[in-house]
Structure 1
Amino acid sequence: MSWLTPMRARSSDEPHRASTPLELFFDLCFVVAVSQAALPLHHSLAEGHVLVALRGFLMVFFAIWWAWMNFTWFASAYDTDDDVYRITTLVQIAGALVLAAGVDTAFEHSDFTEITIGYVIMRLALVAQWLRAARSDPQRRPTAYRYAIGISAVQVLWLLRLLLPAESALTVPVFLGLVLLELAVPIWAENARGGPTTYHPHHIAERYGLFTLIVLGESVMAAVVAFHDAYNERAEFTAGLTRLAISGVLIVFALWWIYFDRSAHGLLTSLRTSILWGYGHYFIFGAAAAVGAGLSVAVDHVTEHAEISSTLAAYAIAVPVAVYLFFVWLLHLRPHQSGTLRYAYPIVVVVILLLPFVPGSIELIAAVLVALVAVMITVGRRTPDPIA
């Protein structure tokens, strides 16, 4: 392999396109940041600091998800897998690890300095990739330059944001404004006169599916650690923890089944639908990560370590499960459904959000999800697919 090969655009219908070992390594390293974000979410919820927990988690998770998403779509179009490409990608991974190291400081002291530095490292490494693509792909040079300019400009604004005091009333509004600018860059760039990038629908669907698997796996690991510690503490909690463990396993299994029931590549038929589909996964990935934190909160409640009510402990699971279900239905399943079946998921979402007021709510959430999967297998598979 040569040191530097031209970064020509890959074909959007390239046969047998699969994720590379570097992409899988990238995902695994990013999950370190996901786990670091989920841990303080768990502790803050267990202490009853709900708004602080949600604000911190959603802000930190945006940085993780957005950097991952931008690399994923770039790699789908321009992965040359040469030495320079690998080194630049490893720099992005290093930035993700710096970001992960700053999560605790951001949650506890609202100090986003370390997170911002890690984020900027990731983003500027991607700028270098776009500049290289511009040099090698004359047809899409305007698109690549727009990406490089837009990303660089927003990084300057992120650094200027650090001048705000930690507890400033402008912190959240400025953050939201910068998020909107970040989201606008791909829309602006992909509509350049050079044409959109040649992302591969099958490859993109596989990459998103693999990251969903990894994030769900992280939730399982977080819950297992919490259960292990609790079981070893006091025998009197064994019955309650066993019921919770069985329910947690069923919940995660059902979430996996629901996401992978249908392939998504057939939905990525236009730039508009692809962007909406890609952006909507912020809620799927974030909710999947939050399920693990919710299960850990439930363990703390059963073992009397949480300073919250049973209703709030149940909502720590019910809310991320409901968000996950709604967006998987909206992005993945709704286009495949017809008739009354397409309303089943919104109804289940409402039911899950009401269950925390009922005794044994976590067990009931698991039962409802298992029933939903059963309906998908029996009724859903027999219903004609409108886009098949």
Structure 2
Amino acid sequence: MSEESARPGNRIRVWYRPMRSRDSAEHHRVATPLELLFDLCFVVAVGQAGAHLHHDFAEGHFGHGTVSFVLVFFGIWWAWLNFSWFASAFDTDDVPYRLATLVQIGGGLTVAAGVESAFDGDFRVMVAGYVVMRLALVAQWLRAARSSPELRVTALWYAAGITICQVLWVVRLALPDAVGLPAFAVIVLAELAVPMLAESRAGTTWHPHHIAERYGLFTLIVLGETVLSATNAIREGIKEGHVAGLVSLAVAGLVLVFSLWWLYFDQPGHRRLSGNPGMLTTMSWGYGHYLIFGSAAAIGTGLEVAVDYDTHQTSIPGLAAALVTTVPVTLFLLSVWLLHIGPTNECRPIAIGFPVTAVLVLAASFTPAPIHVTAVLAAALVALTVVATHGEREP
């Protein structure tokens, strides 16, 4: 098979290609059907995490629910992130690559199956899924090291770092409960350090537009889970006869989610990643999306709790029920502001509007209709961005 026919973008199917790094300036580089399938499998894990967070919050277990969600969602997000950045740089789309991705999908579904026990403090199933996913990823990095001499050192650093971190996750299972949380924090720092250490040797050729699209797709997945969660809660409330109050809540929730979608996608995500932005900017953008993804997922839980409160299915105080939604919305707005908009954005109304709206959303927790007020504030911020940019989205 010729080199021309072996290129990733070529339509001729071959069973094996050398895993060479892709062109970071490749035209029409978009998410592949395999990547979309991978994302859909992670919908299960995100949905499970949100469901158990809702259960804890509805019972008033705010501390336990928050900590458990932060830990579990990190595992979900980090597994997705590792796959996405590797695929952006080395997706050969041949038979071995597809089979390795199949193994990673199986590991991801195992992680999803372990979410419930993880909320109870038992991470064995999640770690088992992680072992499957990470070993497949290590094999991919070793394959890249063999086929791409210019990135051999980087790929070996990734393979070694991921292997060491995975061993640490397994060892953590044997540690006493008293040191479980500190150990988790230490291993997370080690995980975050691996890409920084590896990329400092020789940067991989990830594609800015492709990465921005991948992150945007995951944002859509999380927002979709938010809509699904809220819809299911409202459906159950209507079955109980609570129709009038839930209609306005449903409208407010829809306006809120639509506004958050608008605000995230209004500014092109690849702006911060194009033009050799530097490792610090790239890492802060990539890692910072944990807050965007996590807060978006938690908003769905907040809307479910709001339905529970209005239908008298929970006994938590009204302020607590409001904060379950307004806090993640505030975090979402601030995260999008820092990662996409920028405090020094040349459009000052937008640059100032995001943090001001975030503060007002938090203050809305003390109003009689916090979800409705939050939706109005988010929609007002959308209107501000439209007026400030004259309705033209930056190409």
Task: Name the TM-score, length of structure 2 as normaliser.
Answer: 0.93
CA distance in 2, matches of 1:381, 1:102: 48
- The 1-side partners of 2:393 and 2:114 are apart by 49
Q: 1:199 to 1:43 in 2, by over 3 A?
A: same
Matched, 1:190 2:188: no
Q: Does 1:156 align with 2:161?
A: no
Name the structure 1 match of 2:19: 7
Match of 2:378 among 352, 369, 377: 369
1:109-140 C-alpha deviation (Å, 9 max, x unpaired) = 21111111112211111111000000000000
In 2, distance between residues paired with 1:250 and 1:384? 20
Alignment of 1:46-65 (within 5 A): 46-65=58-77
Q: 1:337 to 1:217 in 2, by over 3 A?
A: farther
* 3-state secondary structure, aligned to 2:266: coil
Deviation at 1:33, TM superposition (A): 0.4
Deviations 1:66-96 (A, max 9, x none): 0101110100000000010001011111111
The question of whether the paired residues in 1 share the 8 Å contact of 2:252 and 2:375 is answered with yes
- Name the aligned partner's letter for residue 24 of structure 1: L
Which residue of 85, 102, 114 maps to 2:114?
102
Q: 3-state SS of the aligned residue for 2:352? A: helix
**Aligned to 1:280, which of 274, 285, 288?**
288
**Pairwise CA distance, 1:384:** 12
Residue in 1 aligned with 2:7? none
Q: How big is the shift at 1:365?
A: 0.4
SS at match of 2:178: coil
Does 2:31 align with 1:22? no
1:315 to 311, 316, 323: 323
- RMSD over equivalenced CA pairs, Å: 1.5
Residues 206 and 383 from structure 1, CA distance in 2 versus in 1: closer, same or farther, beyond 3 angstroms? Answer: closer
Q: Is the 8 A contact 2:104 2:133 kept in 1?
A: yes
1:45 to 1:384, Cα distance in 2 relative to 1, 3 A = closer
Equivalent-residue separation in structure 1 for 2:34 and 2:101 (angstroms): 8
Amino acid at match of 1:375: L
2:47 is the counterpart of 1:39: no
Residue pair 2:386, 2:392 contacting (<8 A) in 1 also:
no
* Counterpart Cα distance in 2 of 1:175 and 1:14: 38
**Distance in 1 of aligned mates of 2:93 and 2:382:** 39
Runs of at least 5 residues in structure 2 that lack an aligned partner in the other structure: 1-12
Call closer, same or farther: CA 1:383–1:226 in 2, change over 3 Å: closer
Q: CA deviation at 1:238?
A: 1.5
For 2:272, which of 246, 267, 270 is the aligned residue?
A: 267
Structure 1 residue 257: Cα displacement: 0.2
Residue number among 135, 140, 143 corresponding to 1:132 in the alignment? 143
For residue 343 of structure 1, report the CA deviation from its aligned partner: 1.8
Q: 1:359 to 1:114 in 2, by over 3 A?
A: same
Q: Counterpart in 2 of 1:116?
A: 127
Q: For residue 254 of structure 2, what is the amino acid of its counterpart?
A: V
The one-letter code matched in structure 2 to 1:201 is P
Aligned to 2:231: 224
1:178 equivalent to 2:187? Answer yes
**1:336, CA displacement in angstroms?**
4.0
Residue among 238, 242, 251 paired with 1:246: 251
Task: Confirm or deny that 1:210 pairs with 2:222.
Answer: no
Measured in 1, the distance between the counterparts of 2:393 and 2:40 equals 37
Secondary structure of 1:9's aligned partner: coil
Write the letter of the residue equivalent to 1:206.
Answer: E
Cα distance, 1:49–1:139 mapped onto 2, change above 3 Å: same
Separation in 2 of the partners of 1:336 and 1:77?
30
| Letter paired with 1:277 | W
In structure 2, C-alpha distance between the alignment counterparts of 1:295 and 1:384, rounded to whole Å: 30
Amino acid at match of 2:301: A
- Tell me how far 1:217 sits from its aligned partner: 0.7
Structure 1 103/61 Cα, relative in aligned 2: closer, same or farther at 3 Å? same
CA contact (8 A) 2:350 2:385 kept: no
Secondary structure class of the residue paired with 1:81: coil
| Alpha-carbon distance, 1:274 to partner | 1.2
Counterparts in 2 of 1:384 and 1:35: CA distance versus 1, 3 Å: closer
Q: Which runs of 5+ in 1 are unaligned?
A: none
CA separation of 1:106 and 1:80: change in aligned 2, threshold 3 A: same
The alignment-based identity, stated in percent, is 53
AA aligned to 2:279 is L
Inter-partner Cα distance in structure 1 for 2:225 and 2:378: 20
Query: Is residue 319–residue 366 contact of structure 2 (8 Å, CA) maintained in 1?
Result: yes
- 1:233 pairs, out of 224, 234, 240, with 240
Q: Which amino acid aligns with 2:267?
A: R
The Cα shift of 1:145 comes to: 0.2
